[in-house]
Amino acid sequence: MLSYSVPTIAILGGTGKEGPGLALRWASAGVQIIIGSRQVEKAEATAAELNLRLGTTMIRGLENSQAARQADLSVLTVVQSAHQATLESLVDDLQGKILVDATARVDFRDPRPPSPPAAARLAQQILGPGVRVVAAFQNVPSHALKKNLGQSLDTDVLVCADDLQAADEVIRLAEAGGMRGYYAGGLDNAVVVEGLTSILISLNAHYGVKTASIGITGIPR
């Protein structure tokens, strides 16, 4: 269990591959989770499936805008092509809160690094100054999140944000989920983090794995 108080987390587009993995990790650590979807029934079905796996009731399902409203912090894990439209539809719901953008705009069939601005910078422009956007988890493979839930993940999370306090909150969340979080500079740096996904996809393809990830050295912990 966690030794500090954590917010309720909404995972917007949490019915796909990445969202449920994050939900499992955080709910295992005692965090209340709301799975968001365009369809409440789909959100509820995913929440029920994850609760069954964990033997808990920590996870519930709501439509994305309700999920964002009821949470203190939201993590965006919609498919990349829905990034802009989803954020535009949630501007009012997210005001005053933290939005964590996990988007990596890389096509796994043609893994080229994306051009600036970072997806998270675009999110900040869409949401305006009333939302603190943090970029994180773009390099954490969904396959790794869902395996060996009781154990730490051998992965580091680069956390980019213009607001250090918001970044610190997300670093604590990464750690609650069994990952190591590092502050990696302002929101514009997140385009480099997205680009690392191109390298991870290429490593996965070359070495025949699904869980290549990143690690930072040289910083004592």
Ligand X SMILES: NC(=O)c1ccc[n+]([C@@H]2O[C@H](COP(=O)([O-])OP(=O)(O)OC[C@H]3O[C@@H](n4cnc5c(N)ncnc54)[C@H](OP(=O)(O)O)[C@@H]3O)[C@@H](O)[C@H]2O)c1
Return the number of the residue (58 or 114) whose C-beta is nearest ligand X: 114
CA distance 83 to 46: 21
Residue among 126, 140, 157, 190 that touches ligand X (CB under 6 A): 140
- Please tell me whether residue 13 binds ligand X under the rule CB under 6 A: yes
- Please tell me whether residue 141 binds ligand X under the rule CB under 6 A: yes
Q: Report which residue's Cβ sits closest to ligand X.
A: 16
- Please tell me whether residue 147 binds ligand X under the rule CB under 6 A: no
- Please tell me whether residue 37 binds ligand X under the rule CB under 6 A: yes
Q: How far is the CB of 197 from ligand X (least distance, A)?
A: 7
Residue among 9, 11, 15, 169 that touches ligand X (CB under 6 A): 15
Q: How many CB atoms lie within 10 A of CB 219?
A: 8
Taking residues 70 to 109 in sequence order and writing x for each that binds ligand X by CB under 6 A, - otherwise, the string is -------xxxx-x---x---------------xxx-----
Return the number of the residue (10 or 102) whose C-beta is nearest ligand X: 102
- Please tell me whether residue 181 binds ligand X under the rule CB under 6 A: no
How many residues at the interface with ligand X, by CB under 6 A? 24
- Please tell me whether residue 156 binds ligand X under the rule CB under 6 A: no
CA distance 167 to 158: 10
Return the number of the residue (27 or 140) whose C-beta is nearest ligand X: 140
SS (H, E, C) the chain: CCCCCCCCEEEECCCCCHHHHHHHHHHHCCCCEEEEECCHHHHHHHHHHHHHHHCCCCEEEEEHHHHHHHCCEEEECCCHHHHHHHHHHCHHHHCCCEEEECCCCCECCECCCCCCCCHHHHHHHHHCCCCEEEECCCCCCHHHHHCCCCCCCCCEEEEEECCHHHHHHHHHHHHHCCCEEEECCCHHHHHHHHHHHHHHHHHHHHHCCCCCCCCCCCCCC
- Please tell me whether residue 203 binds ligand X under the rule CB under 6 A: no
- Please tell me whether residue 65 binds ligand X under the rule CB under 6 A: no
Identify the burial level of 192 via C-beta atoms within 10 angstroms of its C-beta, where 0-12 means exposed, 13-18 middle and 19 or more buried: middle
Q: How far is the CB of 60 from ligand X (least distance, A)?
A: 14
- Please tell me whether residue 138 binds ligand X under the rule CB under 6 A: yes
Contacts with ligand X, residue ranges (CB under 6 A): 13, 15-19, 37-39, 42, 77-80, 82, 86, 102-104, 137-138, 140-142
